[in-house]
């Protein structure tokens, strides 16, 4: 007894089955590309704003001299801040803005500002090296 040759009909059915999904319309993405672009732009803008807050603090003359007194280069600290994650940079920006606001209001002396700035710079270095 001979078995019927099923190779040719089976190959035809498999080939046709592979072509069917290609002929169907493509499904839409879960998130439209415009929404992804908008989200990325908003994230980039928030990151830039946080970095600008930190830069404003680290560019103050009092802060730069405090960092130099602690043997830290202000420009290196700022470049290290650029390496922080979005969340870490957001928190640094918030703290930098608060420190600058409080110092401008006269809440702290130069000595207190020095300690706070050194602590912020140390936090940046630790977070970058982790």
> pLDDT tens across 24-36, in order?
666 676 778 888 8
pLDDT higher than 60, residue 1: no
pTM for the structure as a whole: 0.66
User: pLDDT tier at 54 (50, 70, 90 boundaries)?
Assistant: very high
Measured CA to CA, the distance from residue 130 to residue 126 in angstroms comes to 6
> pLDDT tens across 69-125, in order?
888 898 988 888 899 899 999 999 999 999 888 888 887 787 888 888 888 888 888
Instruction: Say which residues have a Cβ less than 8 Å from residue 108's Cβ, sequence separation at least 6.
Output: 102, 116
């Amino acid at each position: 007894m001979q078995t019927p040759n099923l190779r040719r009909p089976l190959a035809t059915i498999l080939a046709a089955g592979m072509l069917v999904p290609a002929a169907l319309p493509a499904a839409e993405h879960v998130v439209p590309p415009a929404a992804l672009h908008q989200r990325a732009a908003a994230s980039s803008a928030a990151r830039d704003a946080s970095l600008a807050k930190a830069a404003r603090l680290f560019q103050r003359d009092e802060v730069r001299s405090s960092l130099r007194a602690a043997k830290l280069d202000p420009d290196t600290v700022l470049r290290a801040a650029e390496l922080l994650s979005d969340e870490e940079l957001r928190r640094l920006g918030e703290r930098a803005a608060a420190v600058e606001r409080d110092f401008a209001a006269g809440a702290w002396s130069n000595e207190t500002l020095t300690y706070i700035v050194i602590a912020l710079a140390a936090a940046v270095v630790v977070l970058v090296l982790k």
